[in-house]
Every structure is written in C-alpha cells, then in structure tokens.
Structure 1
Amino acid sequence: MSGRVTSLEQAKPQPLVHPCSLSTQGTIPLPLLFLITKQSRAPVRGSAWLEFARSRAGAGAWAGAGQQRGPPLSSQPCRALYLFAKSNNIPFEFKRVELMKGQHKSKEFRKVNPMMKVPALEDGSFLLSESIAILLYLARKFKTPDHWYPSDLQKRARVDEYLSWQHANIRAKSSDVFVSKFMLPVLVGQPLPPKKLEEIVEELNTVLKQFEVQFLQDKPFIAGSEVSLADLVALVELMQPVGAGHNLFEEKPKLAEWRSRVEAAVGPKLFEEAHQTILKAKYMTPDKIPPVVLEVIKSQALKQIGQA
C-alpha cells in the first residue's frame, strides 16, 4: 500500500499542474500555491518553486520565519494534489503565484484558467481546473496503483460517492470551524459568540458521525481494504480544524485509527511535510498581513459563517 509508481512514461510530455487556493464559492481565498509541470522529454522531478504567496512581512510569515522546511501547503486541495503526486512519483514543479498581489488575475494565468481560480492543470494544450478533476486525471494518465481509483465498479462507486458528498459536508463544515476558531479570533480579532461557535462545532460533529456510519463503517478505508483518493481528500480536509486547535480526532477512536492508516499508506514523513504549515497556523499574526487583505478576510469569513 505504498502507492508508489516504479516507472514513468518518460517519452511523453508531462502535465503542468497549477495548485490550490480555496477555489470554491463560499470559502476563504487564502494566499496559497500553484503547481505546474514542465513539458519535457525527461520526467521533471518534484522541484524548487515552493513559495507561499507572501505578505509584506516577507517569507515565512505563515509558518514562522526560518521554521519552514517543506512546501507551504495551507490549502486542503493543495495538500491532496501534493501528496498524491509525491506518493506516486508523478513529475511536477511548483510555480509561485501571489494571490495577495492579484497574480491569479494576470493575463498569463488567465490563459491557464479564465475563471482565475487555482488549482489548474495544463497538459500541453489541455487545461483543467478543480482539484478532484485533476486528481482523477493524474490517476488515469499516470496509471497509478489501482487502489487509488479502483477499476472494480462498486469500489470506484464508493470513491465517487464520497467525493460527491464531501464538498458540502466534510469540506464545508471543517472550513467553518477553521474560520471560526482561527481566522476570526486570531487574524480579525472578532471571535464569535460562544453559542454560535458551539453550533458550528456541532455541525461538524454531525457530518463526522455521518462519515463514520455511512462511508467508513467497519472498513479500514472508505472503499474497502486499501487507501483511495476518497480517504486522501477526506483526511486533508479534516486536518484543517486541527490546525485551528480543534482536535476532532480526540474521543473518536474509529476516526483516529483510520487517520493513522491513511497516514501510513501515504507515508508518515510525507504527510507531516505536507501539513507542517497548517499545523503551525498559530504563528500567523495580523501584523504580517496587509490591512486591505485583512478586510477582505474579515468580510469573507463573516459571510461564510452567516455573520455578515
């Protein structure tokens, strides 16, 4: 269950991946990352362009200057793409896009994605947006191990079922907790009333229970005995509240054991590398963010949780 590919199609041009911000309606557009792979006869190794869109304070503003050892992946879709590509030896290269400077609206990037959203993928003349679509495309193009997106009809249906459900449930409710427990009180200085915060946490607990009963059941993984894209997408979303200090795995032994299995299947060191930024969110302080950006964060955060 290592999820690694032993060989690549070296003669073929490799796809260009442009990674991730919170790209869907109703979520907060944090300054994030942009993946791109080169067109080359030789495979491009995971390489050097690993910069977070910076605040005016300079590099390291999110994780704490001098403490960042890996890619600054604060976005859930970014982490899913990064983990999947790395664990399957898919060649890619990061390219920096500074959302705080509006680079996602630049003429160059709009050629890649006219919707001005990330993630996006460029494979020759073929362009693709949305992280789930990109994950499925990469799984097929690089013929990754079958367990990621099973050929068995019913196992694949289980993966599709979760990926269809998660967006308005696990993703939405986890994001709400992150906003409520970190962005509003720490960055904006406007904590929610205790009753409202309790309601938001309870909504997350409700979908976690649904996840355990409907999707995980008594299986090691969502699709059965092996890890799949569904597990990967689920876990990166559930790590977001953890980054805000809300350990949703406490007192949930089934969920905690599943998390350990997914981490082991992906690779513990790789998983830690991908999550080090979000788990150091406490280092982010308002003084490292331009005031105009803070106003945008405040407006969109309050709107997301229905307080605008």
Structure 2
Amino acid sequence: MPVDFYYTPGSPPCRAVLLTAKAIGLEMNLKLLDLHHMEHMKPEFLKINPNHCVPTIVDGDLAIWESRAIITYLVEKYGKDDSLYPSDPKKRAKINHSLYFEIGTLYSAFSDQYYPWIFAGVPKTDEKEKKIADALSLLDTHFLGSNAWIAGDSISVADISFAASISTIEALNVDLSPYPNITRWLSKAKSSLVGYQECNQKGIDGFKAMVAALTQK
C-alpha cells in the first residue's frame, strides 16, 4: 500500500516532505487537509495524529508527524541509496545537527514572528526580527561558510528541509542580501532539487497569496 500523506501545500514542512518523496521517486497517496475548515480536528484524523498537525504520514501501521522525522524515515526506508541521509555516523550527525538547528532555532524564530502576524494580526517586533537575523547569520557563516551544501559537499535531506523554510522566509520579503552564502546556496537549491517548482514553488505562490489576503484586511 502507498504511504498516505496528510498535508497542506502552504506549509514549509509539508513541502519538505513532498520534495523528499520526489527526490527518492516515491509516489504517495496525497490527502489534502483544509486547516481553515478544521479538517485536522476531525475525529478520524485525530485517531491518526492526536497532535492534529501536518505533515503526517501513515505507512502501514506506522503513523508519524514532524517533517524532519518523516523525511529521514522515508529516505531510510524507500531511498535507493543513502546519499541523502548517509549511514556514516559523522555525516549523519552533521545532517541531524543542522536539522535540529533549523527546527529549534531558525524555523522557531521565523514562526514566532510571522505566523501570529499573518493569522492573528499580532504586530511584528524588532526583537523577534533580530532572532531571525541571528539564526540566518549562523546558517550563513557556520553551516554554509565552508560548505557547498548545508551539511557538506553534497545534497542531503538538510538541504531539502532548509530549502522549504528559507524560500518561505524569502517569500515574506525578509532581506537575504546580507547573507551571501545563503543566497548562493538557495539559488543552487532551486535549480538542483528534483521537482522544486512542482513541490515547493507552487506552494509558496499559494502561501504568498494567502498572506496578502490575510494581512491586507
């Protein structure tokens, strides 16, 4: 049976899963959830994911949410090789390090500033914007300062996850010009990641339209 994938295309973590599946040639059973109409709170979905969030996958008797857990699982189970998530302990540690930094620092700072502004009209603050800038600076200097890709010299699941996040930050007109390594990497990721336009850019375009509608009221 195919993997069931519950998602919404505007979500960066959901787009990271779509990009990963495309990279490994995995066809999933796509199950679009309309969060605006609270489909993620329906009893049948809560049985699968009591945390009522996307992305979520169901693979046989296994249900997983949290995108970074999902993408590493998919590559380990369905990838033709381990190039996107190497079995070598040091290489894998660098990838895990970057993924934990992304969710714990960068994406957390971005979400804390922009999602309350988009969905609840909460004013943005300079303090929160500085946290985003600090995280971007770390990404630019520490992770990408001497690497072609996020965690080394080749594309990994870290690049897929960061591409979904950073392209969303870019779409909200956060100035990335102070971070030359990020802009170099993002340009290369857009042209190198399999299915970027289909799996990521379409979702970004829809996300931008939604943000415009919600913030111009």
The TM-score, its normalising length taken from structure 1, stands at 0.63
Give the AA of the match of 2:206.
Answer: T
User: What SS is found at the alignment partner of 1:94?
Assistant: strand
Which residue of the partner structure matches residue 172 of structure 2?
Answer: 244
Question: Does structure 1 retain, via aligned residues, the 8 Å contact 2:137–2:179?
Answer: no
Gaps of 5+ in 2: none
Give 1:264's match in structure 2, choosing from 157, 169, 191.
Answer: 191
Deviation, 1:286, is 6.4
d(CA) in 1 for partners of 2:107, 2:49: 23
Secondary structure class of the residue paired with 1:99: coil
Residue of 161, 180, 194 corresponding to 1:233:
161
> How much has 1:282 moved relative to structure 2?
4.9
Q: How far did residue 116 of structure 1 move? A: 2.3
Contact 1:15 1:123 in 2 (8 A): yes
Question: What amino acid is aligned across from residue 138 of structure 1 in structure 2?
Answer: L
Aligned residue for 2:5, secondary structure, equals: strand
Is 1:273 matched up with 2:202? yes
CA contact (8 A) 2:16 2:160 kept: yes
RMSD of equivalent CA atoms: 2.4
* Number of the residue aligned with 2:135: 207
Match of 1:218 among 146, 150, 166: 146
Q: How many residues were matched structurally?
A: 215
| Cα distance in 2, alignment partners of residues 285 and 208 from structure 1 | 26
2:118 to 167, 172, 183: 183
* Cα 1:281/1:106, change in 2 over 3 Å: closer
Instruction: State the alpha-carbon separation in 2 of the partners of residues 287 and 262 from structure 1.
Output: 31
Instruction: Indicate conservation of the 8 Å contact 2:145/2:181, yes or no.
Output: no
- Residues 241 and 143 from structure 1, CA distance in 2 versus in 1: closer, same or farther, beyond 3 angstroms? closer
CA distance in 1: counterparts of 2:92 and 2:85, whole angstroms: 6
- How many angstroms does 1:144 deviate by? 4.1
**Cα distance change of structure 1 residues 176 and 105 upon mapping to structure 2, 3 Å threshold:** closer
1:20-31 equivalence runs, <5 A? none
Supply the distance in 2 between the matched residues of 1:256 and 1:209 (Cα, whole angstroms). Answer: 12
TM-score by length of structure 2 reads 0.86
Q: Do the aligned partners of residues 146 and 17 (structure 1) sit closer, same or farther apart at CA in structure 2, a change above 3 Å counting? A: same
Query: Aligned partners of 2:166 and 2:24: how far apart in 1?
Result: 22
Amino acid in structure 2 at the alignment position of 1:75: S
1:56-205 equivalent positions in 2, closer than 5 A: 73-179=9-115, 183=118, 188=121, 191-192=123-124, 197-205=125-133
What SS does the aligned partner of 1:127 have?
strand
* Native 8 Å contact 2:55 2:67 kept in 1: yes
Q: Equivalent residue for 1:8?
A: none
Contact between 2:3 and 2:29, CA under 8 Å: does it hold in 1?
no
Structure (1 or 2) with the larger CA radius of gyration: 1
Report percent identity of matched pairs: 25
Displacement of 1:258 in angstroms is 0.8
CA distance in structure 1 between the aligned counterparts of 2:35 and 2:152, rounded to whole angstroms: 39
- 2:133 & 2:10 partners in 1: Cα distance? 22
Normalized per residue, which structure has more helix? 2
Distance 1:111 1:215, change over 3 A: same
User: Which structure 1 residue ranges, 5 or more long, are not aligned?
Assistant: 1-12, 20-32, 34-72, 289-308
- Cα distance in 2, alignment partners of residues 159 and 141 from structure 1: 17
Equivalent residue for 1:68?
Answer: none
Asked if the contact 2:150–2:159 (Cα under 8 Å) also holds between the matched residues in 1, the reply is: yes
